[in-house]
A and B are shown apart, each in its own frame.
Chain A
Amino acid sequence: MHNRILAALERSQADYTEIRLEERESTSVAFRGQELETASSVIDAGGMVRCLCHDGGWGIVTFNNRDNLEEKVAQATQCARAAKSDNPIELAPIPIVEDHITVALTRDFRGISLAEKKALVEGYNRLLLGYSDRIVDTSCRYHDTFSKITFANSEGSFIEEERPMVVLGTVAIARDGDNVQQAHESYSRLAGFEAAQGREALAETTARRAVELLAAESVTGGQYPVILNPDLAGVFIHEAFGHLSEADFIYENPAAREMMVLGRRFGPDFLTVFDDGCTPGLRGTHKYDDEGTPTQRTDLIRNGILVGRLHSRETAAKLGEAPTGNARAVNYRHAPIVRMTNTAIAPGTTSFDDMLKDIELGIYACDAYGGNTELESFSFSSGYAYMIRNGQLAEMVKDVILAGNLFATLQNIDAVGNDFVWRHPGGGCGKGGQAPLPVGMGAPHIRIQNVVIGGK
């Protein structure tokens, strides 16, 4: 295959050509309630050719049949020529690398029987179901995937990489009459089967929370001071700010560029936000991005000031900045676009108790059900929450959905905690039809004043 890739690149008529081939084997085991929904394996093999012509735009061909790469390159070149534009695309220079990245897994899941995987998931599912007779439905899922990716471009880079991933997810649904509540937890590592073992606490937490939510009242809508736990703070910074720092949002839009001008104050002095694709052990970590650019740590906000943004080669060239290793593709069906890797709020100095003590009436919002941004507006829902009354945590509340305007909200952060933690959630980020892309999130507790909480 190595020689066929080089031959196809060699014959390309395009100004820039890249080929990405993927072979992926995955196994899934899923229980829903008492029932095993699936215990199965799938094979996914395919590739992508992407070409650039100076008088055109991107030409992209994706395929399952990898027999005739030269023909795919010719087709992609035609596509690139058809994408004529008065707005030419340039690529910022990156080092040419040849690399072969292999992984050593403590327990390689490819050698583990479906029976053992099923037994593991069945055990967790039994914990969920057995927690209370009010648990009426559960979902317990295990998924492993091993990808072999080959990336080569016409500049001479050739990278082969193995990417393993294990994901475990639990959902518990509790019911009391018409009152139906759910809770979920997930965990994922770029590691072997061992990462999915010994996770009984995950299942117990899920079941306990679903049952506890049955007794919680809906929150009363309004404006509150809110403390976000590290999980939710991580989702918040990813959703509310991270997406705006992806340079493809601004690189061809002068007004957006002005809004996101480097040097602008975004938050208080004690707020620092960064994206880091190279710290080992995190979900969004890779040695290179999907254009072959080495990953790095990029500070986005330093001491409250906007200092950086995330780039692909294309956006970096357009803005005259350096590529940051953030061009990522969810699989061979998609061209890489600007994405986050592991995004975090750097630790501050305030303890959780100090954040709590001067709140008369507020909300402690924990974990995230999901989040959504539309440019400056964002919304995210917490998995569970507590009222804060007179400086103390009080009763649990449900249906806490936080909404706001990015600029106002970042300015309203008035405390950043000293308890930073990286999280390894099993979900992923979606953008431009590409989901779920594994990303990491990190944060300490943070406190924000005047947050709008939706409610009846």
Chain B
Amino acid sequence: MDMLQQLQVQTEQVEIIQVRSESTKVRFESNSLKATQVEETSGLAVRVVKDGRMGFAASSDVTATEKLMANALESAAYGDPAPFTFPGLQTPPEVACYDSIIAEFSIPRLVEIGQEIMAYLREVDPEGMVSVDLQRRIERFSLRNHAGADVAEMRTPFSLSFGVDRVKGDDMLMVYDMQGTTLWETDFMAPVRRLAEKFRLAQRIVPLSSARMPVLFSPPGAVVLTYPLMLGLSGKNVVKGISPLAKRAGEEIFDHRITVADDATLSGRFSSAPYDDEGVPHRRTVLIENGVLQGFYYDLKTAARAGVTSTGNGSRSLFGLPDPAPTNLVLNAGETPLSEMLASIKDGVWIEGVLGLGQGNIISGAFSNPLALAFKIENGEIVGRVKNASIAGNIYELLRHVGAISRETEWVYQDFSQPYILLEDMNIIAKG
């Protein structure tokens, strides 16, 4: 008798997930190849509902099934009431997230790709130190439950991060990027070229004084705005009553040009997959449309608490229970060309990244961060890099009126697709 059958006899509900993945990684540090790594991962996790109570256990030792089942049952004895039932078999959307090209990448091929990226970035500054990390994974995920769900998925996430550090006297400059995909992109050099361009723009340091001014957030820079929003849109924070957006569905919360959707069905994106981690089919969920709050993202448990259905956002690691999490989060493009946005700024700042993303009381929408990489704009042109400056604000005030949103969008931090966003009047604090 397998585990599902054994536990089904003793409980009302059972769910068993199994993960098995293999990964290869190649790491370049300080301009040279440093290490290559092979990773094999396997594990089992069990959820049961017994006498109405939820229990959980997990193990990376797939042979320890007796202990695993005993742990799950003990956990159920002390668990809280389960407000939901596991879903039965449902038809998923077609989602492309497996690519044999990625699956078949050998270590020498990864080394070759890494060398091409490194060679390009070394040209940018002879004093720069280049690092490149490549990882290709084959992920197998299966889920079965008492209700008949029987999911088996295979994905090929590929992640690539690269950066240049340069120390000159006491000035340290770090420029980096992180990309992810599940379908191989032939033009993998495109983000590398963008990074090199940013590095060139950062060569010159220019002074900046504290003032109110227009601020242009680049796609990676705009994460400082979307990160608090991501928390506000979480079904869990809504159910807990701590999201400032709770009970505001249907209200116009932002500028009418802002539309945000979560979409794990996109072809080949890093978090794309047919099902979520609870066996719920993925779908596109519009969270904010033309500035109007449409809803939130949920997993099974928080959806049940809120009296709605799961949006397919159950996310978990082997050793933890699911929580709602965004998959691929898309902030729609606007209508203004970036060149026009830039040209409109007489005196302002272009933000590429901040330090301490997510620190402070961000559930309230508030953020306050030093700028990690930012440029000064004068008369519609980038004139150089600024140092020792910081910004602060609250997204629920700032995004009510935006200056412009760009036509151009980029995928950043693997899971976010974002345009350039212009906020016309922000306080910049600068030192020196």
Contact = CB atoms under 8 A, between A and B. Distances in A.
Q: Do A and B come from one complex?
A: yes
A69 interface: no
A63 B38 CA distance: 9
Contact of A45 (B61, B74, B369): B61
A418 interface: no
B33 A57 contact: yes
A87 interface: yes
A43 B68 contact: yes
A45 B359 CA distance: 33
B370 A377 contact: yes
Interface residues of B, number: 78
A58 B391 CA distance: 41
B390 A335 contact: no
Interface in B178-225: none
A37 B431 CA distance: 45
Nearest to B431: A452
Interface string B133-162: 000000000000000000000000000000
Contacts of B33: 57, 83-85
A407 B172 CA distance: 12
A152 B58 CA distance: 28
Interface string A327-362: 000000101000000000000000000000000000
B93 interface: no
User: Which residue, of B32, B38, B372, B391, has the highest number of chain A Cβ atoms within 10 A?
Assistant: B38
Interface in B308-364: 319, 321, 355-361, 363-364
A335 B359 contact: no
A61 B36 CA distance: 9
Nearest to A403: B370
Contact of A454 (B59, B78, B244, B392): B392
A199 B26 CA distance: 45
Contacts of A322: none
A456 B392 contact: yes
Interface stretch (B40-48, B257-265, B276-284, B415-423): B40-48
Nearest to A115: B78
B392 A221 contact: yes
B34 A256 contact: no
Contacts of B244: 178, 180
Contacts of A173: 240, 242, 363
Nearest to B394: A456
A236 B57 CA distance: 38
A253 B165 contact: yes
A158 to B, nearest CB: 23
Contacts of B56: 38, 40
A64 interface: yes
A253 B129 contact: yes
A378 B390 CA distance: 11
Contact of B369 (A35, A46, A454): A454
Interface size class of A (residues with CB under 8 A): 35 or more
A148 interface: no
B63 to A, nearest CB: 9
A85 B36 CA distance: 11
A399 interface: yes
B176 to A, nearest CB: 10
B71 A41 contact: yes
Nearest to B358: A370
B355 A252 contact: no
A64 B43 contact: yes
Nearest to B129: A253
B390 A59 contact: no
A79 interface: yes
Contact of B390 (A76, A375, A403): A403
A65 B42 CA distance: 8
A4 B372 CA distance: 49
Contacts of A80: 36
B360 A399 contact: yes
B3 interface: no
A40 B108 contact: no
A350 B240 CA distance: 45
B89 interface: no
Interface string B158-174: 00000001111111101
B306 to A, nearest CB: 14
B249 interface: no
B34 to A, nearest CB: 5
B60 A43 contact: yes
B403 interface: no
Contact of B168 (A179, A255, A454): A255
A122 to B, nearest CB: 10
Given A369-B360, A376-B171, 19 more contacts: A39-B79, A41-B71, A44-B60, A58-B37, A64-B60, A79-B37, A82-B108, A87-B31, A136-B240, A136-B242, A178-B244, A221-B429, A253-B30, A258-B167, A398-B361, A401-B359, A403-B369, A455-B392, A455-B429
Interface of A: 32-33, 35-46, 57-65, 75-76, 79-80, 82-87, 114-115, 118, 136-137, 173, 175, 178-182, 218, 221-223, 252-253, 255-256, 258-259, 333, 335, 369-381, 398-399, 401, 403-405, 407, 452, 454-456
Interface of B: 26, 29-43, 55-62, 64, 67-68, 71-72, 74-75, 77-80, 107-108, 111, 127, 129, 165-172, 174, 240-242, 244, 319, 321, 355-361, 363-364, 366, 368-370, 372, 387-388, 390-393, 427, 429, 431
